[in-house]
Amino acid sequence: MKLLRNTAIATLFATGALVMPLQAQELTMAVAAQSAGQLDPHVSTKTEDKTVFGMMFNGLVRFAPGSMSSDAIEPDLAESWEVSEDGLTWTFRLLQGVQFHGGYGEMTSNDVVYSLTRAGDESRSSVSSDYRAFQSVEAIDDYTVRITLSEVIPSLLGVVANYHGGNIVSARAAEELGEDFKTNPIGTGPFAYGELVEGQYLELVAHEDYFRGSPEIDKITVRYISAISARDLAFQTGELHMIAGSREDRWVNSMTASGESVVDVFEPGELRTLHVNTAMAPFDDIRVRQALAHAVNREELIAFAGASVARGNESPVPDGYIGHEPDLEFLSYDPDRARELLAEAGYPDGVTVPVAITERASLFGPMQVLQAQLSQVGINLELDVMEHSAWHAAIRDDASSLVLYGAARFPVADTYLTQFYHSDSIVKTPTAVTNFSHCNVADEQIIAARSEPNGERQQELWSEAQQLIVDEVCSIPVFELLQVWARAPEVNLGYELDGSLSLGPVITEKTTLSE
Amino acid sequence: MTLADTNTPQRTRTASLLRLARKNKLSAFGLLMFTLIVLASIFAPFISPHDPLDQNILDRLQDRSAEYILGTDTFGRDTFTRILYGLRVSLMIGLTSTFLAMVLGCSLGIIAGYRGGWVDSLIMRVMDMLLAFPTLITGLFIVAVLGANFVNIVLAITVTILPKFARVARAPTIALKEREFVEAARALGYSDIRIMAVHIAPNILGEVVVLASLWAAYAIRIEAYLSFIGLGVAPPTPTLGTMIRDGFNHILDAPFVSIYPGFAVLLVVLSLNLVGDGLRDAIDPKLRD
């Protein structure tokens, strides 16, 4: 191993010394996926796509690079904004002279109106529910946009930020290209779409006319390498500057110890939640669900991933989100009580449940730990291991009574509660999102909190909702897993990386490659 | 006299088998190794103090130690114990599918060879069709369509090696059916089924058994391939292939998790091959040296 590392350094130095000064600055990175999804920022929900969208698009406002706290929201395409007293009318003044990629001209209010309308249109967007309170989006003049809401929403700036539906696309490009837009996405970001070779790599090229200045890096190659060992090896031999790491203590420690790479562990924590289908036997009986909750040993699951990348969470809303309630009454680890409850529910000899699970290690690993824990009390899981996309389809088809799911959303309680626990979001209904548990006990509180003007009262409602969900055992929140990336020391991101809603280190115009 | 002919070759072959152990030390070693492996997997609970499914998260990915002879895997399960239990599953899949393929394949081959004509064409063209697909692809296809579980994996491997047995059984049947003792049997009015089962099958058994021992090794390897690409028996049941796959995520920092089960596959396949080679030498003296 040492020999390998030394060779890697030698290679790095050799290529660095000989090639770098002569050639254009090219940055290579590898993400943990087999291929790109649909490269349309309003459609794709894939982690790896979000990272590249962060480099290709802008919103009206943005989370300062390397941060994902709402306090860090700053102007992006809008230079300033005003909000009416009642919080229902928002007016944004746009920057002038912002150019789209590929000669699609200047970005004007027309593009903003088009983008936000598109993001709120169910047929063209996967996040339309975030925009349901949008009554109208109008262009006042070429550089002024007015958004009128039907009711106050928890964070308007959040949904017009550089994240998911808030990404501004070129109206002309989207209309002209139609279906082809996703293979030729046009935004205003520091990097433009270059080429996609399905299953191999995505090439991004510098957008010379970027409004914050021409990027230092000329080209980014994003490689799709799903196996961590393959990414690791390519990184160690110097073929890649940055890789999505393994979210494990061991990996972080050995990478840090090597001294030849920088490991970034950053927010958001993706909450791993075991959603329990309350409409399907045997979990339609609350005693069985309670038994399940008593059988889960969080300590062990956190130890499995490691303290440097994982932290416990008992709340259905991830830590750090506005509205997260840290002090809930929950069912703690108590295998004896679990066995009792199971017997009371009519399963003294245990119960066997078929469960679908993805083959991806980040969920499959913890699921196997859960399987062993649950078997201790007599809940036996028959795992059906599926290819990742097939699994996504199966769980949305209500095919599994337990769904271990990991997600990071816009950091406001409303998003998480609505998507996972509001009855409108129940899977296999017309308005389905990701409510796998058929939970419907906190609808009232979730709706009321959404437009509650009093901040304290809003928090109360959110806390109430979280307690109700925990009491009903719609889900068992288990632990949060942080984002882990490694980069070669010569990559200077140009900002401090504490968090990234794009779920990866976004390369900006300031990012450099030193020798 | 004619009827006694059927027994003569068998007797000499039994004698050869005994001679084999003395003459061919390597094959005897293979046989010994295979026997030990089978015994170890059968008596796994008495050999290892650990449970193959018992997770000790805090002890995960440890290298060899007094407590964990071959270290632990991602979930802190004892690798040595899992290899023993994994061998059970792998051997069971490998041997069951080879046996099934042998019985079915030989029956089809003998029928094809004995009957000839359109029956022969029909059976053998179907077999050719199956042989046209690369073995792993056929197995993959069957498991992917029917779902990965013990029965389907056995079925998949059976189908992939069945045509090979059919071919091997057919050729000698064509030669044997012209022999006097078969004609004599026919003259005595025995049914075709009886002739095939009693007079022809025992005469090709030797060759078939030799090939079976070689192909059993092959079947165990296919099981490992299928498990490695994620089409194996569902977790947490250990098989050698799934163990190698599980360890693959840690191949750089904890290579032993994959290496030990890989080595177990190597030993099983090697021992079966040695036995097979020895058997072939004993049965076909022309091939000796």
* Domains of chain A, residue spans: 23-241+488-513, 267-482
Q: How far is A114 from chain B (nearest CA, A)?
A: 44
| CB atoms B236 and A372 under 8 Å | yes
| Class of the domain covering B54-287 | mainly alpha
Return mean pLDDT, chain B: 86
Q: How many CB atoms lie within 10 A of CB A299?
A: 12
| CB atoms B53 and A375 under 8 Å | yes
Q: What percent of chain B has pLDDT over 70?
A: 90
Reply yes or no on whether the pLDDT at A408 is more than 90.
no
Residue in A229, A301, A365 closest to B252 by CB? A229
Average pLDDT over residues B211-227: 90
Residue in A246, A251, A369 closest to B57 by CB? A369
| CB atoms B53 and A368 under 8 Å | no
The pair of structure tokens assigned to A311 is 């932290």
| CB atoms B74 and A365 under 8 Å | yes
pLDDT of residue A15: 46
Reply yes or no on whether the pLDDT at B260 is more than 60.
yes
pLDDT of residue A2: 46
- Residue of chain B minimizing CA distance to A254: B253
| CB atoms A304 and B61 under 8 Å | no
Which is more confidently placed, A389 or A92? A92
Pairing mode of beta strands A379-386, A242-244: unpaired
Average pLDDT over residues A407-427: 89
H or E element at residue B201: helix B201-228
pLDDT of residue A298: 93
The span from the CA of B289 to the CA of B285, in Å, is 9
Chain B contact probe: residue of A34, A333, A369, A380 with most B CBs at under 10 A? A369
- Residue of chain B minimizing CA distance to A364: B235
Chain A contact probe: residue of B51, B54, B55 with most A CBs at under 10 A? B55
Average pLDDT over residues B275-289: 71
For residue B235, list chain A residues with Cβ-Cβ distance below 8 A.
Answer: 368, 371, 383, 385
Reply yes or no on whether the pLDDT at A269 is more than 50.
yes
- The pTM is what? 0.79
pLDDT of residue B240: 92
Residue in B60, B74, B249 closest to A229 by CB? B249
Residue in B147, B230, B249 closest to A228 by CB? B249
Reply yes or no on whether the pLDDT at A96 is more than 80.
yes
Per-residue pLDDT tens for A360-382? 888 999 999 999 999 999 999 99
Do A298 and A478 form a contact (C-beta atoms < 8 A)?
yes
| CB atoms A361 and B249 under 8 Å | yes
A window 296-315, beta carbon within 8 A of B: 300-301, 303-304
Torsion angle of alpha carbons B79, B84, B88, B90, nearest 10°? 50
| CB atoms B252 and A368 under 8 Å | no
Reply yes or no on whether the pLDDT at A20 is more than 60.
no
Per-residue pLDDT tens for B131-185? 888 878 888 888 888 888 889 999 999 999 999 999 999 999 998 888 888 889 8
Average pLDDT over residues A181-204: 93
Do A56 and A181 form a contact (C-beta atoms < 8 A)?
no
Number of H helices, E strands in chain A: 15, 19
For residue B53, list chain A residues with Cβ-Cβ distance below 8 A.
Answer: 372, 375
Chain A contact probe: residue of B54, B244, B249, B251 with most A CBs at under 10 A? B249
pLDDT of residue A1: 44
Q: How many CB atoms lie within 10 A of CB B56?
A: 17
Fold of A267-482: Dipeptide-binding Protein; domain 3 (3.10.105)
Do A406 and A329 form a contact (C-beta atoms < 8 A)?
no
The span from the CA of B143 to the CA of B35, in Å, is 30
For residue B75, list chain A residues with Cβ-Cβ distance below 8 A.
Answer: 304, 368-369, 372
Average pLDDT over residues B14-34: 76
For residue A255, list chain B residues with Cβ-Cβ distance below 8 A.
Answer: none
Note whether A230 contacts B: Cβ–Cβ < 8 A. no
pLDDT of residue B16: 60
Which is more confidently placed, A429 or A4? A429
Strands (E), A337-457: 351-358, 379-386, 402-407
pLDDT of residue A17: 44
pLDDT of residue A23: 59
Average pLDDT over residues A467-488: 94
Reply yes or no on whether the pLDDT at B4 is more than 50.
no
Note whether A232 contacts B: Cβ–Cβ < 8 A. yes
Helix axes B25-42, B256-283, angle to 10 degrees: 130
Q: How far is A245 from chain B (nearest CA, A)?
A: 11
For residue B252, list chain A residues with Cβ-Cβ distance below 8 A.
Answer: 1, 229, 232-233
| CB atoms A1 and B252 under 8 Å | yes
- Residue of chain B minimizing CA distance to A366: B75
pLDDT band at B210 (very low <50, low <70, confident <90, very high): confident
As a CATH number, domain A23-241+488-513 is 3.40.190.10
The span from the CA of B284 to the CA of B55, in Å, is 50
| CB atoms B148 and A385 under 8 Å | yes
pLDDT of residue A510: 93
Q: What percent of chain A has pLDDT over 70?
A: 95
The pair of structure tokens assigned to B244 is 């190698």
Helix axes B135-146, B150-176, angle to 10 degrees: 140
SS3 B63: coil
Reply yes or no on whether the pLDDT at A301 is more than 80.
yes
| CB atoms B251 and A229 under 8 Å | yes
| CB atoms A303 and B55 under 8 Å | no
pLDDT band at A141 (very low <50, low <70, confident <90, very high): very high
| CB atoms B61 and A228 under 8 Å | no
Task: Give the domain ranges of chain B.
Answer: 54-287
- Residue of chain B minimizing CA distance to A229: B249
Chain B contact probe: residue of A4, A34, A228, A352 with most B CBs at under 10 A? A228
Q: Of A131-145, A207-221, B182-196, which range is least confident? A: B182-196
Return mean pLDDT, chain A: 90
Average pLDDT over residues B51-65: 85
Q: What percent of chain A has pLDDT over 90?
A: 67
Residue in A300, A304, A385 closest to B234 by CB? A385
pLDDT of residue B13: 60
For residue A385, list chain B residues with Cβ-Cβ distance below 8 A.
Answer: 148, 230, 234-235
For residue A232, list chain B residues with Cβ-Cβ distance below 8 A.
Answer: 252
pLDDT of residue B21: 60
